[in-house]
Amino acid sequence: MLTIEKLTSGYGKLTILRDLTMNIDAESVGLFGPNGAGKTTLINAVLGINPAWSGKIIFHGEDITGLPTHEVARRGIALVPQERELFPSLSVVENLELGAAFIPHAKDNWEDTLEEVYSLFPILKERAKQPAGTMSGGQQRMLAIGRALMAKPKLLILDEPSLGLQPSIVNELFTILHDMKKKIAVLVTEQNVRESLRAVDRGYVLENGMIAMNDSSDKLANDPHVLEAYLGI
């Protein structure tokens, strides 16, 4: 579905991603690594937010390298960014509607998708009329995920979705992610490696802008390096 081939990217003179190659099929994939490893940089390069200096990004057979973000979104990749980007003064339902507004294949039957999002996150239905900015942190995270789903993506990318959430909500979030992967492909970056390894099929470990490991969740969960560096054992 998504193939990244020998991607190099960075900021100014600073190279962050070096010859990075990875592949995501119809599955759920984790992207782990320490702070500053380049996880957000990688995601932003896929979305056309950061430039690819060299290498290729292929989605469903099409070269999308260098396409503007809205064109990438139209092709079926949705991002839930590390920093929430909601419209705080608009209501919950208005934010959700905007998630579909600029995506041709999502716009026409957005009300059906809305019901699906409401069944995933009932709190959003309860609070449909509430200004997004007055929702709690966890609720806003759910709204951000709901809004991304409104675009009917083939691939949903989540950048640190559990950051700042209390453990019970994190649990709920990973259960939802686990269920979601039956329908769409998911790429998720996470500090919470333990929980997310339960929710994903496979994971990449990114260190210093390079893939250090690439293995099934089971293998990663038992790997001595992962245990020591990411699971604190």
Q: Which is nearer to Mg ion, 40 or 65 (CB)?
A: 40
150 within 8 A of 110, measured Cβ to Cβ: yes
Note whether 203 binds ligand ATP by CB under 6 A: no
Residue 171 interaction partner, one of Mg ion, ligand ATP, none, beta carbon < 5-8 Å per kind: none
**CA-to-CA distance for 197 and 178, rounded, in angstroms?**
10
- Segment 73 to 102, residues that bind ligand ATP, using CB under 6 A: 82
Distances (CA, A) of 88 to 20, 36, 84, 133: 36, 28, 10, 4
Q: Which is nearer to ligand ATP, 42 or 173 (CB)?
A: 42
- The type of residue at 137 is G
Nearest to 212 by CA among 155, 159, 220: 220
Q: Which is nearer to Mg ion, 4 or 96 (CB)?
A: 4
Query: What is the torsion angle, in degrees rounded to the nearest 10, for the CA atoms of residue 84, residue 140, residue 183 and residue 126?
Result: -160
Note whether 40 binds Mg ion by CB under 5 A: yes
Q: Least distance (Å) from ligand ATP to the CB of residue 16?
A: 5
Q: Which stretch binds Mg ion (CB under 5 A): 81-89, 107-115, 127-135, 162-170?
A: 81-89
Q: Least distance (Å) from Mg ion to the CB of residue 42?
A: 9
**CA-to-CA distance for 120 and 115, rounded, in angstroms?**
9
Widest distance between CA atoms in the chain: 50
Residue 37 interaction partner, one of Mg ion, ligand ATP, none, beta carbon < 5-8 Å per kind: ligand ATP
- List helix spans (H) across the chain: 39-46, 69-74, 92-101, 104-107, 110-120, 122-126, 137-149, 167-180, 193-199, 217-221, 224-229
- What residue number has its CB nearest to Mg ion? 40
Q: Least distance (Å) from ligand ATP to the CB of residue 7?
A: 13
- The type of residue at 192 is N
Q: Which is nearer to ligand ATP, 133 or 164 (CB)?
A: 164
**CA-to-CA distance for 99 and 144, rounded, in angstroms?**
9
Q: Least distance (Å) from ligand ATP to the CB of residue 140?
A: 18
- Segment 21 to 50, residues that bind ligand ATP, using CB under 6 A: 33, 35-41
Q: Which stretch binds Mg ion (CB under 5 A): 4-12, 75-83, 163-171, 202-210?
A: 75-83
Q: Least distance (Å) from Mg ion to the CB of residue 40?
A: 3
Give the list of residues 6+ apart from residue 168 with CB closer than 8 angstroms, or none: none
Interface ranges with ligand ATP (CB under 6 A): 11, 14, 16, 33, 35-41, 82
Interface ranges with Mg ion (CB under 5 A): 39-40, 82
